[in-house]
Amino acid sequence: MSQSPSVYQRRRSPTVSELSHIPWLTLLTEPERERIVSQLVVSDPLPGDYVCRVGRPATYWFGVVEGLLKMSADSASGRTITYTGVPPGGWFGEGTAIKREPYRYNIMALRRSVVAGLPIDTFHWLLDNSIGFNRFVMNQLNERLAQFIEAREIDRSNSPDVRVARNLAALFNPTLFPGVGEILRITQQELAYLVGLSRQRVNVALNTLQEQGAIRIEYGGMRVLDLAALRASGT
C-alpha cells in the first residue's frame, strides 16, 4: 500500500493571493522581491501532518498562510509539551534557521493549512542584504522572547480560566500573527489541544470570558473585544 505524499513532496509555487499574505514581502525592495519570490514554495498539510520534526535539519524558514499549526515537544517522561499555536501570518523557526541547527520541536497541522517555506540559503541571503528583512526578523525574535516568558508564567497558573485567556491573547499577537486580525478561526477542541485542557473545561472558560466582555464566541472562531483584558487576566 503506497503512502500519501509528504508535506515536502506536495510543495508547489504560491499563488498571487498566497503571496499577498506573507507580511515581510512588503518590506523588501523591488530587486529583493524579484530575486526571492520565485524561490518561495507552499504546501498544504492536512490535520496531523508534520511540517517540522525534532532532530530534522532546517532546510526552510516557514510561515502560515492559512490554517493553524501547533509547536510542541516530547519530554523525557513521554509527555507532550505544547509551546504555542501558530495561526495565519505567523513565521517561526528563525532562531533555528539562523544557527542552521536541527529542530528541537515538532510543528504539526491542527487543521488543513497552507504553509509557505523560504529556502534557508535564501533566508541567510536576505539577512546579509536586506535592512527591511533584518528589522522584521529582529522584531520576531524580540516578540517571541516575550511570548515564551509569558508562557512560563501561564504554566505556573492553576486557574484554567487564566490559562485560556492568556493563550488566546498570545494567538492575537499582531506582531507575530498579523494575519489573525480581530477574529481567530479556531475550534474549542483545537484550543483545548493548545492549552492542555479538556474541551469541556475550555468551553466553560470561554463562556466566562464572553460574560466578562473580553471575547465573543462566533461560528468557527473567537472575536477579541478587549485584548488588554485577556493579557491582564489573573494579574
pLDDT tens digits for range 204-229: 999 999 999 999 999 889 999 999 99
* Confidence band of 234 (pLDDT split at 50, 70, 90): low
Mean pLDDT, to the nearest integer, of 130-137? 96
* Confidence band of 54 (pLDDT split at 50, 70, 90): very high
CATH of domain 16-149: 2.60.120.10
User: Within 130-180, where are the H helices?
Assistant: 131-155, 160-171
Terminal CA-to-CA distance of the chain, rounded, Å? 55
* CATH level 3 topology of 159-232: Arc Repressor Mutant, subunit A (1.10.10)
Q: Flag whether pLDDT at 82 surpasses 90.
A: no
Q: Where are the domains of the chain?
A: 16-149, 159-232
Q: What is the dihedral of CA 18, 21, 22, 28, to 10 degrees?
A: 100
**pLDDT attached to residue 81:** 79
**HSE-CB of 50 using CA atoms within 13 angstroms:** 10
